[in-house]
Amino acid sequence: MSGQIKQVAEKLIPHMEMLNAHFEESNSRFNSLMGKGHDDLGRVLKCHLIIEYYLNLYLSHQYGISDIDQIRLSFAQKVNLLPKQGNAVVYVKKGIERINKIRNRFGHKLDASICEGELNEIDDVLKVMRPETKDLSPIERIENFTATACTFLIVQPKEIEEIYADAFNLFLAEKTNNNAG
């Protein structure tokens, strides 16, 4: 084997200048990609993972599933299992979906970033629940939304759950009437 490698190396010697130039060019691109900041990536991923943790607890409780991980649902499938009405979780559902879209983009694009205009569903919740966050950076608003969404996903005692359901049914009814008129 080492004899064959020696033969390969000898064949490459006349081309080393060109090979090294190509390597340096490629390595420069690699180093620039590796050197790119990953703070937002880590923070988005952490928010996504924390929401999924609370989402699993919520769905396990709602549907009586003892080991939700065994079912192997995607994050999007789990979000689709959230109630569509009659529950406070409805209020944060669209924001959770938005975080999943942002996380997926970060997971598949090396140059992903968070655009100001893509946080509407998140900002709608924060305007009401955490108005002091309006001037924060996009990633800080995502983190604040995560805390809010997880609060809504916490499994509440039945009495507290009913209080939230009554309050949000009123809110959702008003929102539906405003959109219809």
Determine the Cα–Cα distance for residues 28 and 36; give it in Å rounded to an integer.
12
Confidence at residue 175, expressed as pLDDT on a 0 to 100 scale: 59
User: Which tokens sit at 39?
Assistant: 């703070």
Determine the Cα–Cα distance for residues 124 and 97; give it in Å rounded to an integer.
14
Confidence at residue 181, expressed as pLDDT on a 0 to 100 scale: 58
Q: What percent of the chain has pLDDT over 90?
A: 47
pTM: 0.76
Instruction: Tell me the three state secondary structure of residue 137.
Output: coil
Confidence at residue 155, expressed as pLDDT on a 0 to 100 scale: 77
Confidence at residue 69, expressed as pLDDT on a 0 to 100 scale: 86
Whether 52 and 77 have beta carbons less than 8 Å apart is answered as no
Digit-coded pLDDT (tens) for 30-84: 777 666 667 899 999 999 999 999 999 999 998 898 888 888 999 999 999 999 8
Question: How far is residue 31 CA from its own chain's centroid?
Answer: 26
Bin 114: left if φ > 0, else alpha if -120 < ψ < 50, else beta: beta
